[in-house]
Amino acid sequence: MGTVMPAVGPPLFLDQEAAIETRNAIISTSISTFRFRVYLFARQCELLESLDKPVTICERAFYFVNSLSNGRQVPMVAKTRMPSTHTTSQDVLSPYFLEKWIFSACIQIIDLCEKLTAINVLPEGAAEKYDLWKSQLFYYARKQVMLSGQFMRYTK
């Protein structure tokens, strides 16, 4: 089977040690599809952060999270989601892992972008776009909380 991933999953932004470990896993081809996609997205966000592009970070995060949220295109979600014949990963995800990860990623991206916009003023016209993309990320975060609550029978 493989290792069981923790309930909250890998953080979106990696520290130096985790980044090196992830790069080694990529080189040895022992990384799961999900972790690889997250790594690439996190690196993209770090580059956009260095360019001070919070609007672009939110926009790309929206599309990344949307691809995970709506399409369920990650081939190694928990066995309760997909037949075992479709599981090609070395990782076995805990139940509701994807919902927890999407929530965490949305909040991390919003937090990063809020810090960037607090330091620098957005160019004219960019504030509306930023608010649009940020609201979509808040929507996905809220949606994941609602889904988790429904799964746990806390909400209707």
pLDDT interval class at 155 (50, 70, 90): low
Q: What mean pLDDT do residues 64-80 have?
A: 57
Count of domains forming the chain: 1
- Give domain status of residue 75, yes or no: yes
Give 3-state DSSP helix, strand, coil % of the chain, rounded to 5: 65, 5, 35
pLDDT recorded at residue 121: 85
Structure tokens at 84: 């075992």
Q: Tens digit of pLDDT for each residue in 85-122? A: 444 444 556 777 888 888 989 999 999 999 999 988 88
Is 37 domain-assigned?
yes
DSSP H helices in 4-96: 16-27, 33-50, 54-69
Residue 156 lies in a domain: no
Average the pLDDT over 75-83 and give the result: 36
Determine the pLDDT at residue 92.
59
Q: Is 142 a member of any domain?
A: yes
User: Whole-model pTM?
Assistant: 0.73
Residue 9 lies in domain: 3-151
User: Does some domain include residue 71?
Assistant: yes
Q: What percent of the chain lies above the pLDDT cut of 90?
A: 27
Per the domain annotation, does 36 fall within a domain?
Answer: yes
Angle between helices 33-50 and 97-119 in degrees, nearest 10: 10
**pLDDT for 132-150, tens place per residue?**
999 999 998 998 888 877 7
